[in-house]
Amino acid sequence: MKILSVNAGSSSLKFQMYEMPEEKVLISGLFERIGIGNSFYTIKLNGEKIKKEANLIDHGDAVKILCDELIQNNVIKSLDEIEAVGHRMVHGGSDYPNSTIIDEDVLKVVEGLVDLAPIHVPANLIGVRAFQELIPNAKAVAVFDTSFHQTLPKEAYLYAVPYEWYEKYGVRKYGFHGTSHKFVAQRMNEILGKNDTKLITCHIGSGGSVSAILNGKCIDTSLGFTPNAGIMMGTRSGDIDYAIIPFIMEKTGMTFAEVDNILNRKSGLAGMSGVGSDLRDVEQAISDGDEQAKLAFDMYVRHIVEYIAKYYVLLGGCDAIVMTAGCGENSSYMREKICERLSVLGVELDSSANDMRGLERKVSTDNSKIPVWVIPTDEEVMIARDTYNLVS
């Protein structure tokens, strides 16, 4: 069965096509800068990576080119060969503890969640509609980032606000990056050879989150009602005192929308460092002696360590700490500084293993009281698995 896994971002569209259930990748690619000019895409096929420029006004253009590339590269002879398309959906609210086949009722529920993730949900919906138009016979499946976190106990997902806010308006912690946390947790359990585990998984990319996973189920996570909670991120502030918002509005005359935009798009590493949101640029600035960049980096590491320590206590110990996503997988400097601060828990870094890149590996020594692993995440294969299980 041929299945497309799709991850539509605000200005990007990432995809992989699988032959299932073998999980054989037939083709993959990424469309970038959709709707913002100088757009292009890359296709990876048979080990070869090809980059092409394209005029991508919206996600519909990307989907059309994607379908053309599938046929031109002889991956398929007809679009009818694609039996299902699995879509990464950032938000499912409390309605979907599992992935589900998409129909109009599902889309209406997701449309009602736009206010909770205004950057991501509209892009997800555009991606679904574009594929429905071009491949109407393929079943569509929604794989929600929030689903994995629906196992949080009530004491963990509720906020200490009037209870009617939860009853009437759904004010609660939802959590995100669930597909990634689920993948690396399952893989870590395979490595450990058991399922009764206490894991702390760290998805550290442009967005970031830390999760506490007990016996395969998430019991707490750092992202909350929106993706702007928890640790400091590339452009997001993470946790702040809510009173800062009206204070800045009064001092500057900015509207709530303007302050909210700054907290989502101009804070975090970008706002603190003055360099940008890319950790590679911040690390380069540090090596050049930039003290402001060093301060931003130290704050970044501290936030991550604070959540790891918090979840260590919550879990009553830890069988493994997992690092994944762009920064978690690729920044040896960040992992080094995190492990230094965790030495009080008996964490000991293996410098030679830590300096390697792009591989699944243990980066702690055999003497480390808590093993620390790098496991490259694979959200696309998780989407493909859920899609195949639902439609086959």
* Residues 223, 234: Cα–Cα separation, whole Å: 14
Q: Kind and range of the H or E element at 221?
A: strand 217-221
What phi and psi values does residue 210 have, to the nearest 5 degrees? -125, 135
The rounded distance, in Å, linking the Cα atoms of 205 and 217 is: 22
Structure tokens at 186: 């399952």
Strand partners, 221: 211
Looking at the chain, how many residues does it have?
A: 392
Contact between 88 and 7 under an 8 Å Cβ cutoff? The reply is yes
Q: Residue-wise over 38-73: b if at least 16 C-beta within 10 A, else e?
A: ebebebebeeeeeeeeeebeebbbbbebbbebbeee
Give yes or no for a contact between 107 and 125, defined as CB atoms under 8 angstroms apart.
yes
**Chain Cα centroid distance, residue 256:** 26
Task: Name the catalytic one among 58, 103, 105, 145.
Answer: 145
Strand ranges across the sheet with 82-89: 48-53, 40-45, 24-32, 13-19, 2-8, 82-89, 139-144, 100-101
DSSP bridge pairs for 208: 204
CA nearest to 140, candidates 103, 110, 104 = 103
Active site residue 103: no
The residue behind tokens 């929030």 is 146
d(CA 98, CA 361): 30
Which residues does the annotation mark as catalytic? 145
